[in-house]
């Protein structure tokens, strides 16, 4: 399948229209202009603005997209490695000036132990691997490649804070199958092309805490408004 996410990143970076839609497997569709991927710091979510003050040392930005977070940290003198599974996203990041952007799947991190002091998982990337068991495995690997005092800054929408009946119905269907309410299946639609389905986990703070605990982390605090927050994870 084409790298639709990468095409969106490259068009957004070039200033071209990057209007796209994200389709959930129940038919629910959200529209986006793509500008969030190249947003300046002033336009970030409140939770991310608060969390950025916690960043220190050597940083790994997972799912870097067009490099908005990495560029901000670079400009503030931090040593950052940006990774993404999308070739187009890596191309877009480098074109904007990201100094160290690597094509890499978070499921197969290729770094020595004790490399990083801060892990960035902005833009709902805490749940980037979908099933809670997959997220546990990711956090266990991050435990290995980070220093003893490292932190993970993990963003997530809290899925249960909603008044939309379509979301409530989706959550109830998930619960009936024994899944967390915020485990969703999505695909991108862009320029008449349709991407593959993938799973994303939107985690309320209690679920984030439970998952972190299984991987040797603890949810130390939650930053920002409750509907979209950043969990600060520290090693237990």
pLDDT at 221 over 90: yes
- Does residue 31 sit within a domain? no
| Contact indicator for 51, 33 with CB cutoff of 8 Å | no
- Does residue 33 sit within a domain? no
- Dihedral sign (CA 79, 125, 133, 23): negative
- Does residue 211 sit within a domain? yes
Residue with tokens 């237990």: 236
Average pLDDT, rounded, for the chain: 97
Per-residue pLDDT reduced to its tens digit, 137-191: 999 999 999 999 999 999 999 999 999 999 999 999 999 999 999 999 999 999 9
- Does residue 23 sit within a domain? no
pLDDT at 1 over 80: no
Domain span holding position 56 = 41-187+195-235
pLDDT at 108 over 70: yes
- Does residue 20 sit within a domain? no
Q: Specify the CATH number for the domain of residue 88.
A: 3.40.50.150
Report how many domains make up the chain. 1
| Contact indicator for 63, 84 with CB cutoff of 8 Å | yes
- Does residue 139 sit within a domain? yes
- For residue 160, the Cα-to-chain-centroid distance in whole angstroms is 19
Per-residue pLDDT reduced to its tens digit, 3-38: 999 999 999 999 999 999 999 999 999 999 999 999
């Amino acid at each position: 399948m084409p790298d639709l996410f990468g095409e969106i990143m490259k068009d957004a970076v070039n200033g071209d229209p990057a209007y796209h839609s994200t389709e959930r497997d129940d038919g629910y569709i959200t529209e986006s202009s793509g500008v969030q991927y190249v947003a300046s710091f002033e336009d970030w979510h409140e939770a991310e603005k608060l969390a950025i003050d916690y960043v220190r040392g050597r940083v790994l930005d997972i799912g870097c997209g067009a490099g908005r977070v990495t560029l901000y940290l670079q400009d503030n003198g931090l040593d950052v490695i940006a990774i993404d599974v999308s070739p187009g996203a890596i191309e877009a990041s480098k074109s904007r000036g990201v100094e160290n952007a690597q094509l890499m799947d978070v499921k197969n991190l290729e770094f020595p132990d004790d490399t990083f002091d801060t892990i960035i998982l902005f833009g709902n990337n805490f749940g980037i691997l979908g099933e809670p068991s997959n997220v546990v495995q990711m956090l266990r690997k991050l435990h290995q490649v980070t220093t003893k005092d490292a932190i993970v800054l993990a963003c997530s929408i809290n899925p249960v804070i909603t008044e939309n009946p379509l979301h409530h119905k989706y959550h109830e269907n998930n619960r009936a199958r024994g899944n967390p309410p915020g485990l969703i299946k999505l695909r991108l639609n862009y320029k008449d092309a349709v991407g593959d389905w993938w799973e994303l986990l939107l985690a309320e703070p209690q679920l984030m805490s439970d998952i972190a605990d299984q991987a040797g982390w603890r949810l130390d605090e939650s930053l920002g408004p409750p509907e979209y927050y950043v969990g600060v994870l520290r090693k237990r």
